[in-house]
A and B are shown apart, each in its own frame.
Chain A
Amino acid sequence: MRRNLAAVLFTAAVLAASACGANTGGSTAPPQTGSAPASTPSGPPDQVTVGVIPILDVAPIYLGKEKGFFSKRNIELKLELAQGGAAIVPAVISGQYQFGFSNMVSLLLAQSRSVPIKVVSNGNNSTGQDGNDFAALMVKGDSPIRTAADLAGKKVAANTLKNIVDTSVRQSVRKAGGDPASVQFVEMGFPQQPAALQSGQVDAVFVVEPFQQAVLAQGGRKIASSYVDVAPQLTIASYFASNQLIGQNPDLVKRFTEAMQESLAYADAHPDEARQIIGTYTQIAPDVIAKMTLPKWPADVNRDSVQKLADLALEDKLLEKPADVDALFL
C-alpha cells in the first residue's frame, strides 16, 4: 500500500511538472484578438498591442492613449516597450504585436527582403531646423573638426550600422563637400556615446535626445543636423502593421490610423503635455525633459522625404535595387 502511494505521488509530481510547462506556454501566448472580425463601436473593444521603444519619439501614442483617442474608437491599447526596433518587426509578423514602431530605413530594408508589412501611420519627423533638431552630429568642444566634411578618416559612433544614422551622417558629409566613403563608423549604443566622445574613443557621435543634452552638458558642439540634411521635415519613423492584419481586419487598421492622426496632431500642438508624458514611460530627469528639443509630429508621412532616404540608401548600397516606396504605404 505504502509503495503504491509513493508511486501515485511520483506520477503526480511528473504531471505537475508537465502542467507547469504547459501553463507558462499558454498564459503568455500572443493575443489573437487583433485578428478578430471587425466589430462595431458598440461591441467589446479590440485589444491592440503596439511595440514601441522607450524614447521621446513615441510620446504621441502615450498621449493619445491617455486622452482617450484610442478608446473612443473602440481600441483597448496596450503599449509594450521593446528593446529595439529590430525586435519589433518579427513580433508584428508573428502577431505578438498588432502594430509596431520602426525607423524608415529599417522598414525599407525589411521591404527589400519581402517582409510583409505596410506603414499605417506617421511616427515622428525632424524639426527641419538646422542646428535645432532632436538629433545631432556632435564633436568635443575643443575638437578641430568644424564641419561634417572634416570627418574624412575619422571615427563616428552610430547606434546601428547600415541604418538611418550612418545614411544621414553620410549625407551631411556629402552636403558639406566631403567624401562620405572615407568616414569610419563604429557601432555603439546611444548611452555609451557621450562617454566615448569625452574619452576620445571616437571623434564624433550622432546622438538623439536625451543624449544630445548629455553631450551639450559636457561641452560638446553640434556640427550638423543630419536628419535635416537628408530632407526638409524628414519622416524618421512610422507605425506599421503586417499585411495579414491589414487583409483580415481593415476596419481596425483604419481606426488605429485615425486615432494616431489625432494623437500626432494633439502632441504636436501641445508640447508641454508631450514632455509631461515622456516622464511617465522613460526615466529621463525632469530638468533634461524641460530642455530637450522635441521632434515634430505631423499627422501624415512625408513621402518625398522617404523617397529621398530610399535614394540615399541605394547610393550607400544598403539597398541593392531601388525601393518601391509607394508599395510600403497602405
Chain B
Amino acid sequence: MRVLLGLAGLIGFGALLELVPRIGLVSDQYAPPTSRIAVALADQVREERFWTALADTLRTWGLGLAIAVLAGVVIGVVIGSIPVLRVATASTVEFLRPIPSVALIPLAVLLYGSTVTSTLILVVYASFWQVLVQVLHGVADVDPVARDTARSYRLGRVGTVRYLIWPTTLPYAVTGVRLAASVALILAITGELIIGSPGLGKEIAIAQASDAVPQMYALVVVTGLIGVVANLITRTAERQVLAWHPSVRQEIPS
C-alpha cells in the first residue's frame, strides 16, 4: 500500500510537469514536458559517454565517502576518547564545520586545477564533518556505569574501544554515514558542474552550453535516481549493521 501510494505520488508529479508546459504556464522550450525528458533520457542511456560519466560520478562519490567515513570514525574515536583533545578541538571543529564546502572551490582549483582531486577535496570536506560529529556524540554517550565496569575489569585502551566505545558509537556512526552519503553526492555533482571534473555534473554543464534543455533535465533526473538508490542502500546497510540494536530489533516488546 505504501509503495503504491509512493508510486502514485511520483506519477502525479510527472503528470503535473507534463501538463504545466503543455497548457502554456511556462515555456516548453525551457521547461520541457516529462515525456520529452523521458525521450532524451532514453537517447542518453544508449550512449557510452553517459555510462562513462555515470561511472566517474559514482567513483568520485564512493571514494570521497570512503575516505570521509574512515577518517571521521578514526579521528572521532581518538578525539572523543581523550577528554583533553576533545576540549582542545571543540571550538576548531565548530569553526571549520559550518564552512560551506563550495566556498573552498577556488582554493581546490588553485591547488589541483580542474581535476577529480579538486572535487574529491570538496566531497571529503563536506561529508567528513557529518561522520565526525556523530561519532563524537556517540563516544560521549557511553554509559558511565559500563565505563566504570570496564575500568574495574582493567580493559586496556584497545579493549575499551572494541567492547565499550564502538558498540555505543555504531548507531551514531551509521547515521553519520547515511547523512554523509547524500552530502557527498551533492558535492560530487556540484564539483563536476563547477570545477569541470569528469562525471554527470560536467555532462549537465555541456548540455546546458549546447542549449540541449531536455538532455540537461534527463541528466538531472539521473542524479536524483542515484540519490534514491544511495539512500536505499545506506538504509539497508543500517538495518544489517545494527541488527542487534533495540532501535532495529523487531521482536522486542514495546
Contacts and interface: CB of A to CB of B under 8 A. Distances in A.
Interface of A: 3, 6-7, 10, 13-14, 16-17, 20-21, 24-25, 28, 30, 53-55, 80-83, 87, 90-91, 94, 96, 190-191, 194-195, 198, 210-211, 213-214, 217-218, 281-285, 288
Contact of A90 (B29, B113, B194, B205): B113
A80 B196 CA distance: 9
A28 B209 contact: no
A7 B158 CA distance: 6
Contacts of B208: 191
Interface stretch (B7-15, B66-74, B84-92, B141-149): B66-74
Given A24-B63, A25-B117, A54-B206, A6 B158 contact: yes
Interface stretch (B93-101, B210-218, B243-251): B210-218
A45 to B, nearest CB: 22
B210 A284 contact: yes
A80 B194 CA distance: 15
Contacts of B216: 283
Interface string B196-210: 100000110111111
B51 interface: no
Contact of B70 (A13, A195, A198): A13
A283 B215 contact: yes
B212 A20 contact: no
Contacts of A3: 156, 158-159
Given A28-B116, A82-B114, A284 B211 contact: yes
A17 B203 CA distance: 31
12 contacts: A17-B71, A17-B74, A24-B67, A25-B117, A53-B209, A81-B196, A81-B202, A82-B114, A90-B110, A190-B209, A210-B210, A282-B209
Contacts of A24: 63, 67, 116-117, 120
A6 to B, nearest CB: 5
Nearest to B216: A283
A91 B211 contact: no
A3 B113 CA distance: 45
Nearest to B215: A283
Interface of B: 27, 29-30, 63, 66-67, 70-71, 74, 109-110, 112-117, 120, 156, 158-159, 161-162, 194-196, 202-203, 205-212, 215-216
Contacts of B109: 87, 90
Given A3-B159, A25-B117, A28-B115, A283 B212 contact: yes
Given A53-B209, A54-B210, A210-B211, 9 more contacts: A6-B162, A54-B205, A83-B202, A90-B109, A91-B114, A194-B211, A211-B211, A283-B216, A285-B211
A13 B74 contact: yes
Contacts of B74: 13-14, 17
A256 B207 CA distance: 29
A195 B27 contact: yes
A17 B67 contact: yes
A87 B196 CA distance: 9
Interface centre among B109, B161, B210, B216 (most CB of A within 10 A): B210
A183 to B, nearest CB: 25
Contacts of B71: 17
B128 to A, nearest CB: 11
Given A13-B74, A24-B116, A195 B194 contact: no
Contacts of B114: 80, 82-83, 87, 91, 96
A218 to B, nearest CB: 7
A96 B115 contact: yes
A94 B113 contact: yes
A207 to B, nearest CB: 10
A3 B212 CA distance: 60
A259 to B, nearest CB: 24
A28 to B, nearest CB: 5
A198 B209 contact: no
B209 A96 contact: no
Nearest to A278: B210
A10 B74 CA distance: 9
Nearest to A279: B210
A214 B113 contact: no
A16 B66 CA distance: 11
Nearest 8 A/B pairs, CB to CB:
A283-B212, A83-B196, A283-B210, A96-B113, A282-B210, A284-B210, A283-B207, A17-B70
Contacts of B206: 54, 81, 281-283
A288 B113 contact: no
Interface centre among A53, A217, A282 (most CB of B within 10 A): A282
A195 B213 CA distance: 12
Contacts of A214: 29, 211
B102 to A, nearest CB: 14
Nearest to A92: B113
Contacts of B210: 54, 210, 282-285
